[in-house]
Structure 1
Amino acid sequence: MRVVLAGGGTAGHIEPALALADALRRGDPDVGIVCLGTERGLETRLVPQRGYELALIPPVPLPRTLTPQLLSVPGRLRGAINAAAAVLDQAGADILVGFGGYVATPGYLAARKRKVPIIVHEANPKPGLANKLGARFTEHVAVSHADSPLPNATFVGIPLRREIATLDRLAMGDKARSYFGLLPDLPTLLIFGGSQGARSLNQAAVSAAPYFRQAGIQVLHIVGPKNTEEPEPSSGGPQYVTIPYCDRMDLAYAAADMAMCRAGAMTCAELAAVGLPAVYVPLPIGNGEQRLNAQPIVEGGGGLLVDNAELSADWIARNLLPVLADPARVAHMSEAAGKMGRRDADVALARMVHDVVRSAGAAR
């Protein structure tokens, strides 16, 4: 089987694609996998790191408003479609699986042109433009929100890395805390804002450092590579560990009793899968999808939700510290979060790929 994956640009598109690739390769080491991408996206680093072939096509960002850029789109898109079609031809593709973003649009159009079967995967509650288009070309649509507006939607969840999907937080807790220089027996809060950090989270958390120490709570804070916020050094009290970047998020999750973070689709899916309750602080820009990502988990009892503008050291002291000081409540929230998660979305999507390819072969 030969599969082309279209999921470039951001980690939210690339990581589910790579998780699917891993699941397909576990099932059949000889499966052919090619990832579509552009020279601008994170895929130039992430895809080769995971051992997969990357085929670059011209980037064609679609403007959301009427601008002079719009006039150049048809010609540029035509070139990207032809480049994507050439990749499908060279790979001998049996199927294209798209994950949204600007790489997916030419991928979907090229697959339709070459009569290659398509699967669309949508991670967000509000589908993007590319997946709205792709869903018109196929009956095979996998979604991560049961009430997705896309036609022919089948709930699958978001494919996750195996080190996350198979994580046993309780079994790994002591080892994980030791890895980060934390004590084994104190309530632990994990703070992160994505690969680049989040300034408002950093500022509120660092300002709350005295409150954490006074409450006996240790902190693991992934501040981001460009962060300038650091807590005042303290000779006493629990640890407040800051690191610029973490490439072992499985251990970070295992070390924590609770998290404070943004509410991207991948973040929400990972935390729910491992049963880690969180204070979700949705990004205050965009179309509000981060709030929609977190709401089902919060409404199910697996987290708290606070607007970015309301987050402060005082809010943390009033609302978060009492939760961390109550082990029974944290345990209840952890159980509730875990009920909202899905650990086998990669396997389910891989099964869909096999079924569609098999059906397409039988139809020929």
Structure 2
Amino acid sequence: MRVVLAGGGTAGHIEPALALADALRRNDPNVGIVCLGTERGLETRLVPQRGYELALIPPVPLPRTLTPQLLSVPGRLRGAINAAAAVLDQARADILVGFGGYVATPGYLAARKRKVPIIVHEANPKPGLANKLGARFTDHVAVSHADSPLPNPTFVGIPLRREISTLDRLAMGDKARSYFGLLPDLPTLLIFGGSQGARSLNQAAVAAAPYFRQAGIQVLHIVGPKNNEQPEPVSGGPQYVTIPYCDRMDLAYAAADMAMCRAGAMTCAELAAVALPAAYVPLPIGNGEQRLNAEPIVAAGGGLLVDNADLTPEWIVQNVLPVLGDPGRVAAMSEAAGRMGRRDADVALAQMVYDVVRSAGTAR
């Protein structure tokens, strides 16, 4: 079987595509996999790191909604469609699986042109333009929110990296805390804001550092590579460990009893899968999708939710510290978060790929 994956741009598009690729390769080491991308996206680093072939096509910024403007984008879109079609031809693709973003639009249009079966995967509650378009060309739409507005939705969740989806936080806890220089027996808060950090989270958390120490809570804070916020060093007492970047998020999750973070689709899916409760601080831009990502988990009892403008040291003291100081509440929130998670979305989406290819009779 030969599969082309279209999921470039951001980690939220790329990581689920690579998780699917890993699941397909586990089933069949000889499966052919090519990832579509552009030179602007993180895929230029992430895809080769994971050992997959990357085929670059021209980037084409598009309007955010389905308007006549889409049809007025001239030669660049046509060129990107032709480039994507050439990749499909060269790969002798049996199927294209798209995950949204700029690279998915020419991928969908090229697959339709070549009569290659399409699967659309939508991670967000509000679909973007590319997946709204792609869903018009197929009956096979995989979603991560059961009430997705896309047609013909099949709930599968978000495919996750195996080191996350198979993580046993309790079994790995002591090893993980030792890895980061933390003590094994103190309540631990993990703070992170994505790969680049989040200034508002950093500032509020650092300002609350004295209160963490007073409450006997240690902190692992991933501040981001371009940020340097850190509290004044204090000898003795609970640790406040700051690191610029973490390439072992599985260990960071295992070290923690609770997180404080943004609410991107991947973040919410990973935290729910590993049953880690969180105080979610949605990014205050875009179409409000981060709040929508976190709301079901919070409504189920698996987290807290605070607007970015309301995140202050005082809010942390009044809301986060009481949770970490109550082991029974932490355990209840962990169980609630875990009930909202799905660890086998990669397997479910891989099975969908096999079913579509088999029904289409395109496998060579």
CA displacement, residues 305-351 of structure 1 (integer Å, 9 cap, x when unaligned): 00000001111011110110000000000000000000000000000
TM-score of the aligned structures, taking structure 2 as reference length = 0.98
Identity %: 92
Question: How far off is 1:75 after superposition?
Answer: 1.3
Question: How far off is 1:63 after superposition?
Answer: 3.5
SS in structure 1 of the partner of residue 286 of structure 2: coil
In the other structure, the counterpart of 1:346 is: 346
Q: Bigger shift: 221-230 or 244-253?
A: 221-230
Question: How far off is 1:73 after superposition?
Answer: 2.3
Question: How far off is 1:362 after superposition?
Answer: 7.5
Question: How far off is 1:120 after superposition?
Answer: 0.1
2:352 paired with 1:314: no
Provide structure 2 residue ranges, at least 5 long, that are not aligned to the other structure: none
Distance 1:66 1:155, change over 3 A: closer
Question: How far off is 1:112 after superposition?
Answer: 0.1
| Inter-partner Cα distance in structure 2 for 1:275 and 1:10 | 25
In the other structure, the counterpart of 1:24 is: 24
CA displacement, residues 246-282 of structure 1 (integer Å, 9 cap, x when unaligned): 0000000000000000000000000000000000000
Question: How far off is 1:228 after superposition?
Answer: 2.5
CA displacement, residues 136-192 of structure 1 (integer Å, 9 cap, x when unaligned): 000000000000000000000000000000000000000000000000000000000
| Inter-partner Cα distance in structure 1 for 2:39 and 2:71 | 23
CA displacement, residues 32-64 of structure 1 (integer Å, 9 cap, x when unaligned): 000000000000000000000000000001134
SS in structure 1 of the partner of residue 73 of structure 2: helix
- The correspondence of residues 1-364 of structure 1 with structure 2, limited to 5 A, is 1-64=1-64, 73-361=73-361
Distance 1:313 1:102, change over 3 A: same
| Inter-partner Cα distance in structure 2 for 1:132 and 1:64 | 10
Q: Is the 8 A contact 2:64 2:128 kept in 1?
A: no
CA displacement, residues 177-232 of structure 1 (integer Å, 9 cap, x when unaligned): 00000000000000000000000000000000000000000000000001131111
Q: Is the 8 A contact 2:35 2:55 kept in 1?
A: yes
Q: Is the 8 A contact 2:301 2:337 kept in 1?
A: yes
SS in structure 2 of the partner of residue 363 of structure 1: coil
SS in structure 2 of the partner of residue 362 of structure 1: coil
Provide structure 1 residue ranges, at least 5 long, that are not aligned to the other structure: none
Question: How far off is 1:71 after superposition?
Answer: 9.5
| Inter-partner Cα distance in structure 1 for 2:7 and 2:135 | 15
Cα RMSD (Å): 1.8
Question: How far off is 1:237 after superposition?
Answer: 1.5
| Inter-partner Cα distance in structure 2 for 1:289 and 1:65 | 15
Question: How far off is 1:69 after superposition?
Answer: 9.8
Question: How far off is 1:65 after superposition?
Answer: 8.7
CA displacement, residues 93-113 of structure 1 (integer Å, 9 cap, x when unaligned): 000000000000000000000
TM-score of the aligned structures, taking structure 1 as reference length = 0.98
Distance 1:349 1:67, change over 3 A: closer
CA displacement, residues 112-139 of structure 1 (integer Å, 9 cap, x when unaligned): 0000000000000000000000000000
